[in-house]
Amino acid sequence: MKPVYLDYLSTTPVDPLVAEAMAECLTLEGTFGNPASRSHRYGWEAEMAVEAGRGQLAELIGADVREIVFTSGATEADNLAIKGVAEEALRKGGGPVHMVTSAMEHKAVLDSCQALEAQGVAVTYLKPDDRGLITAAAVGEALQPETCLVSIMHANNEIGTVNDVAAIARVAHEAGVPVHVDAAQSVGKIPVDVRALDIDLLSISAHKFYGPKGMGALYQRRRNKTPLRAQIHGGGHERGLRSGTLATHQIVGMGRAAEIAGAALETEAARLTAQRLRLLAALDDIPGLYLNGDPQQRLPGALNLSVADVEGEALLLSLPEFALSTGSACTSASLEPSHVLRALGLDDALAHSSLRISLGRFTTDAEVDLFSERLHEVIPRLRKDAA
């Protein structure tokens, strides 16, 4: 039997209704054409399907369809937003260029910023507070006259905490600085309204809300548009910001996933919050168990726990009937402690002993209870063996 899946922050399975919609775009009998081929019916139908998907995604985040730029995922969207803004600022010249981000961002943001540092861009990396949050006050203190962008994630991909990006945007905009938000983990899980949040740029990933891998988008506000320098050239697709033949089936899948997520947002969030609290309550009697990050201001189904006196990898190996992780899937090959937990102030021992537990659409109460029971069995045994 396959293990119980508790790694929904890493990726989500494609919803069966999404897979069905995608399959209809793959064969000769379906909508398989090139959306840019406007000389025949196959192309027209594909273009209509693409624009329908764009509309479904736009509706989920409260955007205009003309504000959605399709990408291969949130990683590419992050690169387009961050490098696009900074390189445009460098091109204009006139002095130094500075950016503000945080030390707990996804590697797609951190590595993009480090690449820009090699080009002479100065970057401030804010540390989270003891709740695992980046505050608007901290952002305000970091702003400089030459700051061209603030890039702060909405929900953290390891500990699940949710930043008040609306407050961060207010502070940045008062100084005339645009804001980019990596919303890969929040879109489709909690309400994300780009108008209410007052965001300039926002990155989205389909596979985080039961859509296909290899599909994402960047929201770029039309009003007071933040200039971007394209990162991929060749054909001028997506208003010149992202060249390449649009993947009709992927976009249809993302759109359908967005539609399903929007309809189920409130009920699914309530169910997952109840399951998260159920699990925490069941584990309350285990000594030396620490919740990383704010207990309330977090994604409905996300937990990150450090288990004192137990090595995280040993704990994973002792739970073969569950699929979960000790940190971000994007850095799982590294032996280094999580950069997020280090930024939070955890020592290496506790950082190495962390478990990232994420519940999702197909998680049952019985699976939550079984996981709790197994932790009660495994943790004391591992501590005894290590003594």
Q: State the maximum Cα–Cα separation within the chain, in Å, rounded to a whole number.
A: 73
d(CA 338, CA 318): 21
Among residues 25, 113, 148, 330, the one annotated as catalytic is: 330
The residue assigned the tokens 């980019």 is 180
Give me the amino acid identity at 315: L
CA-to-CA dists, residue 305 to 272, 344, 384, angstroms: 17, 13, 20
Q: Is the dihedral of CA 73, 323, 376, 340 positive or negative?
A: negative
Residues in Cβ contact with 107 at an 8 Å cutoff, skipping those fewer than 6 apart: 328, 330, 331
Q: Which helix (H) or strand (E) holds 267?
A: helix 248-282
Strand bridging mode 322-323 / 4-5: parallel
Alpha helix segments (H runs only) across 6-123 = 16-23, 41-61, 74-92, 107-117
**330 in active site:** yes
| Chain centre to alpha carbon of residue 244 | 23
One-character DSSP codes across 107-159:
HHHHHHHHHHHTTT-EEEEEPP-TTS---HHHHHHH--TTEEEEE--SB-TTT
Q: Active-site residues: which are they? A: 330
